Structure 1
Amino acid sequence: MTTHFLVGRGSVLPGFLDAHVHLALIDATLLPGGGIARVFDLGGWLPDGLNSSMPDLACAHQFITAFGGYPLRAGWAERGWSCAVASAADAAAAVDLQAAAGASVLKITLNSLAGPMLGTEALAAVVGRAHELKLPVVVHAEGAGQADRAFVAGADAFAHTPFSERLADDLVTAMAARMTWISTLDIHGWGRPTPAFEIASDNLRRFHAAGGRVLYGTDLGNGPLPLGLNSREITALLGAGLSPDDVLTALCSPAPLGLTLADTRVTFIPGERPRNPEDFADWLVTARALTRFELEVLA
């Protein structure tokens, strides 16, 4: 991560990434003004009229789920946003469909609280086909044992820090050796602590301490979240043991999940970086994502 300073103006960093958004549920044109230069759209249709005023993006296209599985019954998701897989025999066709639609990452849902889930063979087949196509696999894991299932199947990342149960220390250590976790801590209560928030924070604290790679992500579209940098998410990451520099790393990853996103914007943060970590989140949320031309004008 390289930081440049505009004398008397502020800091310029690589474009900030929100690694979990749903563009169909928000006005993505507002994100650059809130400091977000890049996003992962993790499931659902992209909005019509994608244009240069939106962040640079990688997308998953449809959710891969079981027939009747999450989010097919969720009120916020249209049926066409999901691709149902019945067996291992269906896996290749489902994954190929996402790749043909332009997906650069695959999203699988395993939610035992909201309907049927992919069986072991089908899950392994979906992950295997995605990896054959060089697509990293991100899993929504919810319910007891689902994070473990995703890990055993070879998932590359969790869409959310596991929040259903406290994961065993040895499992967390094993996950830290090869997985990436997308944070999304603030969705558990939106500033009001909940049991799920405490579980997720504890899991993330141990994952990070074991050397696991963390990406900043918010699940934008899910509840009252700001359209830009979220100070509550940043504060939660600091509370889970990440240092301010660790948070910047989580925001500025140059090739998250091995993906190379377009690089049309940088992030500009006005003013001097505070020395007090307690003021760090307030400083970050003043960020703006600027094009190279806008940065030259500012300079």
Structure 2
Amino acid sequence: MVQTNLDAVTGAFSYTGKYIARRLLADGKQVLNLTRDPGREHEFGSLLRSVPFSFEDPQVLSASLAGAGTLYNTYWIRFNYSSWTFDQAVKNTRLLVEAARNAGVQRIVHVSVTNARADSPLAYFRGKSAVEELVRNCGLSYAIIRPTLIFGLEDLLLNNIVYLLRHFPLFVIPGDGNYRLQPISAEETADLCVRAAQQNQNLELDAAGPDILTFRELVRMLKIHTGSTARMVYLPAALALGFSRLVGWITHDITLSSEELRGLMEELLVSEQPPAGQTRLEDWLKEHGKELGNSYVSELRRNYLPYNTHK
């Protein structure tokens, strides 16, 4: 593989892509950021260059990737909303992968999700599976990294759970809360991606942390390390989802979709592979718990409403 010092990352101003960009810059790499908003304020200053996705013009998209050796792809959406759909996200990813191939990119590191399957009843996981398949068949060297739940200060899920724990007297647990998940840190996810890029063979790897927790254990842990006194209340899943919609009405957001709840309760955020991460969520919370949940972070305001379309 021909060595180049320039790598491309999608979403370096967002979450997982930000941690990948940090790691690459720390390693002395030059970073090209593909983003919906090149003018957005960010932490990197002049250390990286940003260009728009340009899905509407594949030639421009391909030209923007010229000189990059590896493309780290984190592009995806959390749920269908307005013109934002999983089907369109798959089409856009196909355009991105084709542009990378035409630009001479040598390797793609694609960030997927655990338990992505073409026959999944959940559109999120079906879409992720479709993207995995097009990466496998694109003709380029590739690595597919499948995280479970990625935890970090920018994670909306953990932050907003803690916000509710801090600001409401009750916290609703869907069902009995005994369904499991296996969180991994954002830093270790980025490290896995960068190490995967340095290999030559095609590979597929789950990114999961060392501990498997039930959801109720997760919420209790968050309570302990953030000083919350909220009472945990257990409701049937349908009622809990209705409560989340009420919270969404108050916050002008979608706090939890029905598909997300089903995926959580079906334990799709647990890996059958040996843990790839070593950082325990509880240890991380001891250091960072006080920083979580001081304000609510809206998914719609962060990733949907500022943009008219994702085409």
TM over 0.5: no
The one of the two structures with greater contact order (alpha-carbon pairs below 8 A, sep at least 6) is 1
TM-score tier by shorter-chain length is 0.3 to 0.5
Q: TM-score, normalised by structure 2?
A: 0.32
Q: TM-score, normalised by structure 1?
A: 0.33
